[in-house]
Amino acid sequence: MSLEFDGANNKISNSSGASYGVALPAPNYRQPQPLIINGDMAVAQRATSTASITTTGYQTVDRYQTQIGSLGTWTQSQATDVPTGSGFATSLKMDCTTADASPAASDYLYLEQIFEGQNLQLLKKGTADAEKITVSFWVKSVLTGTYCVSMKDNDNNRAIAGSYTISDASTWEKKIITFAGDTTGAFGNDNGASLTLHFWLAAGSDYTSGSLGTSWATTVWANMAVGQVNLANSTSNDFWITGVQMEVGEFTSSTIPPFQHESYGENLQRCQRYYQKSFDIGTAPAQNVGIQTGELSFPSTKGASASTTLSQKYNFPVRMRASPAMTGYNSAASNAEVRDVTASADCSSTAFASNKETGFYVTCTSSGTTSVGNYLSLHFTAAAEL
């Protein structure tokens, strides 16, 4: 018996004339790469653990900035506690080490990821066809209760918020929150900070005293974290999150696409658009970590003179989002100068010049004992965060 497929009508016919309808899978509109970067918390270039956190900044896991304003003291780490059978190996952990049971009105604590506008054009924001957005993630906390997630459109000063409930203490739970599409205000089609996604952990009344803003509207911070529990109320409190994904459209627990795993190398390259370093992945940036530890090294092309200027060009392996802010680290001393390893001396006036998306020059003044061919070295970090 022969079979023929009629693609126009989705039917298969046999030689006897009988035909059968064919159910085809729905088309997949997912991006080649996830909207969320480092959703599995696998890349932690800066450090795997940072203690005594009281100020805003990137601490451990790439692309997740800790926003904190006078609300406890924290240790953040890249943890190996993950939901069983989920395919994840790491999570981001927040551990309260100094409690604050009575936050002031302006106090806040949340994790955030910021997105470039040119990566969000598929959301069709600001048009009649604006897409819904579904955020899903695995979460675990010692403290049960209501937690909030919000989005802020930085280009148009608009925001939306949602909430979820952690029902069982110290138990991994998967959460799914769908946000409406916004027909007002398009994202800029550029490398600017168009959208910020917040995962709230604690907040004072400046962020909780309104009504939870579940529809897009002009940003009112009092509507961002209404009902949010105070994770800072006890030093017994820990919080973990992993498997963060952001999908275009509305999904439920039965329809949400599986997490879009990337290789570690692909994930790292996407993170390096925003932050790079010369140190090995497992080495936190610091002065005096030792020579031949991955630092930028180059031979001197000029002889000894206390006034001789030396320079070297370096090209990034991944083009950065913008011209980065550079920080230098001496590989063999506790200062930020280029090290003349051959002469066991430090150069002076070390500086970075012509910092661009593709690379930079490092310049310095000879120590006066530098000879042609001497081995010079310097570690660096480059940050082009949003």
* Strand (E) or helix (H) holding 65: strand 65-69
Torsion, Cα of 114, 259, 84, 148 (10° steps): 40
Is 25 or 321 the better-scoring residue by pLDDT? Answer: 321
What is the model's pLDDT at position 25?
44
- Mean pLDDT lowest among 18-32, 85-99, 362-376: 18-32
**Residue 240 pLDDT exceeds 60:** yes
* CB under 8 A, 24+ apart: contacts of 305-308: 305/366, 305/368, 306/365, 306/366, 306/367, 306/368, 307/365, 307/366, 308/365, 308/366, 308/370
pLDDT of the residue at 20:
52
pLDDT at 304: 59
Model confidence band, residue 27 (pLDDT cutoffs 50, 70, 90): very low
In the chain, pLDDT over 70 holds for what percent of residues?
Answer: 91
pLDDT at residue 28, rounded to an integer: 44
Number of Cβ within 10 Å of residue 65's Cβ equals: 19
Provide the 8-state DSSP code for 102.
S
Name the pLDDT band for 293 (thresholds 50, 70, 90): very high
Three-state DSSP class for 122? helix
| Assigned token pair, 96 | 């309260």
Tokens found for residue 91: 């999570």
Using pLDDT thresholds of 50, 70 and 90, give the confidence band for residue 32. Answer: confident
pLDDT band at 26 (very low <50, low <70, confident <90, very high): very low
Burial letters 214-233, b for 16+ CB under 10 A, else e: bebeebebbbbbbebbbbbb
Please report, as a single letter, which amino acid is at residue 295.
Answer: E
State the chain's mean pLDDT as an integer: 93
181 pLDDT exceeds 70?
A: yes
Question: Does the pLDDT of residue 3 top 60, yes or no?
Answer: no
Confidence of residue 246 (pLDDT cuts 50, 70, 90): very high
Indicate the pLDDT class of residue 369, thresholds 50, 70 and 90: confident
Report which of 234, 247, 329 is spatially closest to residue 288, judged by C-alpha positions: 329
Q: What is the dihedral angle through the alpha carbons of 253, 254, 255, 257, rounded to the nearest 10 degrees?
A: 70
pLDDT score for 307: 65
Quote the pLDDT of residue 89: 98
Q: Can you give the pTM of this predicted structure?
A: 0.91
Which one, of 249, 285, 215, lies nearest residue 135 by Cα?
A: 249
Pick from 146-160, 207-221, 300-314, 333-347: least confident: 300-314
Residue 363's pLDDT is what? 93
